[in-house]
Structure 1
Amino acid sequence: MARITAGVASSHIPALGVAIDFDKRAEPYWEPVLAGYDWTREWEAAQKPDVVILVYNDHASAFDMKIIPTFAIGCGEAYKPADEGWGPRKVPVVEGHPDLAWHIAQSLILDEFDMTIINEMDVDHGLTVPLSLMFGQPQAWPCKVIPLAVNVVTYPPPSGNRCWALGEAIRKAVESFPDDLNVQVWGTGGMSHQLQGPRAGLINREWDNRFLDGLVGSSDALRHIPHIEYLRETGSEGIEMVMWLIMRGALGRTTRCLHRHYHVPASNTAVGHIVLEPM
């Protein structure tokens, strides 16, 4: 059967993609940020996942105010990099895994999650930057990817508890798929940051690191953090961290930390990254 072997979480700041695409990794500003992913790139090369279920949020590339799905799963064959206003990133086309994606969609809907099914869409930096951080600059991405988009842009976003429960349901779905697949779940976005208003530039190191602590072990306290705490403590865009809870919920009761990285600043935000395995 398919199995979830690891969870990865990371910020998906667009400037990280720019730093990689334009070979800025040796510059003093970017070197300590990107060095925190060196371990993970080597680890991923050894792990060779067959499929990554990549949880991210769209930035008005595939969705806009005309349609705002809370949870949307990509069931298509492939997804092109989106043009976010300055041309698509020169990264490989993302290859999907329709069989597993449709299986997960069916299982989630029968478990009473109202999923939006997407067969055609372009994917923006929310999805492609994490791939670059973990896999570098290959000619083709080394695994299939199932995009799972979450609305954390327009109120109301899903609760942390709902996201954690969705992760649990994803684990159930993956484990009922008959093919022998090494599957990872990635949660992206965050950490603390606010992009506008009088609190623009807000970073809360202490809260961010407590959140990283809470992903490790057997506690499920993170699932009960209310929206207002994310907004108050981590800024308006810090709510993206609920997407990390889908990854955590998919790993089961207890996790072990394999790698952790935190750096401030990067493009006026905090960079967080963690690699977990289920126990």
Structure 2
Amino acid sequence: MAKIIGAVTTSHIPAIANAMANGLEETPYWKPFFDGYPPVRDWLNEKQPDVIILFYNDHGLEFFIDKKPTFALGVADEYHNADEGWGIPTIPPVTGESELSWHIANKVVDEGFDLTICQEMRVDHGLTVPLNLMWPGHKYGHVKVIPVCINCEQHPMPQPKRSYALGQAIGRAVESYPEDLKVVVFGTGGLSHQLDGERAGFINREFDLKCMDQLVSEPEELTKYSNLDLIEIAGAQGVELNMWIGMRGCLTGKVTELHRNYHGPISNTGAGLLLLEHEHLD
């Protein structure tokens, strides 16, 4: 049986890719951010997961404002990243896991989620930056990735309670898969940030730290927020918390925090990192 052995939350700020491409990790601006990642990398290298289920949001590369699915699931064997204008070198493709992806698609649709199922799908920094943070030098080709894309750009967007329910359905689907696979779930994006308007640069550190605590011990408290609540409390782009909430819904057993880091601002964002261990309850 496939088992979810843990989860990771991380920022997916596009400037991170630029910093890594230019070797800026040890500069004063970036060092407190990058210093948080070695323990997570060590854990992943020790556990050697077979599959990463990665919750992210597309920023207009594959899904522009004229066509914006609420939830999209990739079922391809491979995913390519297209140039987003940051001037970074072309990066290797991401390896997919089509059999488990299709299993999840069938199970989740049967539970009432109307997914957009993508047999071809370009992926942006929302997916590739987290992978490169965990396996620097784009050395992520050995692990298979299932993209789960949540609309966090254009209203109407799914509410936190619906994103959590999606995660729960995906978790049940993974647990019903007969092949022995080790799965880790990534929740990416955020935390609090606003990139435009009168509140550009807004960060709510107190709220971010509270969210990180609740994500571990009482995740259903986070589902009580509406997206409008998140916009008011955490900035216009604070709705990216939905990816963290979706990830947490996948974890149906005992959750133990192994590591955390928080630093802000990084590119006008509160950047949080959590490593969670997941034990199944028999």
The alignment's TM-score, normalised by the length of structure 1, stands at 0.96
SS at match of 1:265: coil
Which consecutive residues of structure 1, in runs of 5 or more, have no partner in the other structure? none
SS of 1:262's partner is strand
How far is 1:57 from its partner? Answer: 0.4
Q: Quote the offset at 1:26 in angstroms.
A: 1.4
Match of 1:174 in 2: 174
Would the aligned equivalents of 2:132 and 2:140 in 1 still touch at CA under 8 Å? no
In structure 1, the residue matched to 2:13 is 13
- Equivalent residue runs for 1:1-279 within 5 Å: 1-86=1-86, 89-218=89-218, 220-252=220-252, 254-279=254-279
Give the secondary-structure state (helix, strand or coil) at the position aligned to 2:42: helix
The answer (yes or no) to whether the contact 1:251–1:277 under 8 Å persists in 2 is no
What is the deviation of 1:85?
2.5
The alpha carbon displacement at 1:42 in A equals 1.1
Q: Distance in 2 between matches of 1:95 and 1:240?
A: 24
Residue-by-residue CA offset, 1:151-192 (whole Å, 9 max, x unaligned): 000011111111111111111100111111001111111100
- Residues 3 and 121 of structure 1, relative CA distance in 2, 3 Å threshold: same
| Larger deviation, residues 266-275 vs 188-197 | 266-275
The CA distance in 1 between the partners of 2:225 and 2:45, in whole Å, is 35
* Alpha-carbon shift at residue 250 of structure 1 (Å): 0.5
Aligned-residue Cα RMSD (Å) equals 1.3
Contact 2:17 2:88 (C-alpha < 8 Å) held by counterparts: no
Q: Per-residue CA shift, 1:209-250, capped at 9, x if unaligned?
A: 000000112552111112222111110000000110111110
**Aligned partner of residue 29 in structure 1, secondary structure:** coil
Moved over 6 A (4+): none
Deviates more, 1:218-227 or 1:96-105: 218-227
Q: Distance in 1 between matches of 2:276 and 2:121?
A: 29
AA matched with 2:32: P
> Residue 253 and residue 160 in structure 1: after superposition, are their counterparts in 2 closer, same or farther (change >3 A)?
farther
Return the alpha-carbon distance in structure 1 between the equivalents of residues 239 and 82 of structure 2: 23
Q: Which runs of 5+ in 2 are unaligned?
A: none
1:138 offset after TM fit, Å? 4.1
- Equivalent-residue separation in structure 2 for 1:132 and 1:8 (angstroms): 14
CA distance in 1, matches of 2:260, 2:207: 15
TM-score by length of 2: 0.95
Which amino acid is 1:203 matched to?
I
Distance 2:217 2:85 in 1: 41
Letter in 1 for 2:68: I
Identity %: 46
Contact 1:217/1:254 (8 A) holds in 2: no
Structure 1 residue 86, shift from structure 2 partner: 4.2
Q: Contact between 1:84 and 1:124, CA under 8 Å: does it hold in 2?
A: yes
Please say if residues 76 and 119 of structure 2, whose CA atoms lie closer than 8 Å, have aligned partners that are also in contact: yes
Q: How many residues align structurally?
A: 279
Q: Provide closer, same or farther for how the CA distance between residues 270 and 15 of structure 1 changes in structure 2, counting only shifts above 3 A.
A: same
Tell me, yes or no, if the aligned pair for 1:54 and 1:148 is still in contact at 8 Å: yes
Task: Say if 1:82 and 1:88, in contact at 8 Å, map to a contact too.
Answer: no
